[in-house]
Amino acid sequence: MSSNDNKQLEITVDGVTYTRQAIKTCLIESHHNIAEVVAQYTKEHIQKNDIIFVSEKAVAITQQRALPLKEIKPRKLAYFLSSHVTKTPAGIGLGMPETMEMALRECGVIRILFAAACGAISKVFKIKGVFYIIAGRKAASIDGPTANTIPPYNQYVVLGPKNPNMVAKEISHVTNSKVAIVDINDLGGVILGISHSNMDKPQIAKILKDNPLGQSREQTPVGIIRKG
């Protein structure tokens, strides 16, 4: 797994150089208010025109969308489908019964079965990613535990956040900065929510493509993008 100690602070995208600062916070828990946490830990670092970016996992935890593994009882279908998921270095994804069970609950059985069927056909033609395209963002945002997941979340499944645009706006209100809620891993990612409609989501995704927050136990769920 990666550590942000090994990440470059600067990146050049389309001829423009940006710095990305990962900010260490307290351990995010369900009782926290994500806007207050972000404001507390960025206040000494933020400058005019900076963009704050926040891990979608941190947002989801504060929305009580982190579930202990022991409380999830997968059905037989979840065991079957999870056994056919391709594992990647970026994480377990839906490759365990508990995460697949939550995908079935979040997305519906019919949609997941259709996505699985299309995914199986696409593998014959060596086309990747079809399952998640059809299953949708709710399925793609489900995080399962790995060996390097920070405790206690190494025993949890974390669902995607609800209303990421609204959360970004709430954080923006208390920080007086533009904010993006991001789902980034070492294989890439997407921008789930933005506080201002004029923010360029594809551009932000490019700036964060190497996952400057890290993928392991860094405890840095918040970062700052600064131009120049």
Mark 32-56 as b/e (b = at least 16 C-beta within 10 Å).
bebbebbbebbeeebeeebbbbbbb
The token duo for 37 is 């946490």
Domain residues of the chain, as ranges? 4-63+161-227, 73-158
Q: 3-class DSSP state for residue 132?
A: helix
The pLDDT score that the predictor gives to residue 3 is 45
Which tens digit of pLDDT belongs to each residue from 128-144? 889 999 999 999 999 99
The pLDDT score that the predictor gives to residue 88 is 66
Name which residue leads in pLDDT, 185 or 52: 52
Whether this prediction's pTM lies above 0.85 is answered by: yes
Q: How far apart are CA 147 and CA 151, in angstroms?
A: 10
Q: How confident is the model at residue 64 (pLDDT cuts 50, 70, 90)?
A: very high
Q: Around Cβ 90, how many Cβ atoms within 10 Å?
A: 17
Does 2 have pLDDT greater than 50? no
CATH architecture of the domain with residue range 4-63+161-227: 2-Layer Sandwich (3.30)
Q: How confident is the model at residue 175 (pLDDT cuts 50, 70, 90)?
A: very high
Q: How far apart are CA 117 and CA 133, in angstroms?
A: 12
The token duo for 62 is 């504060």
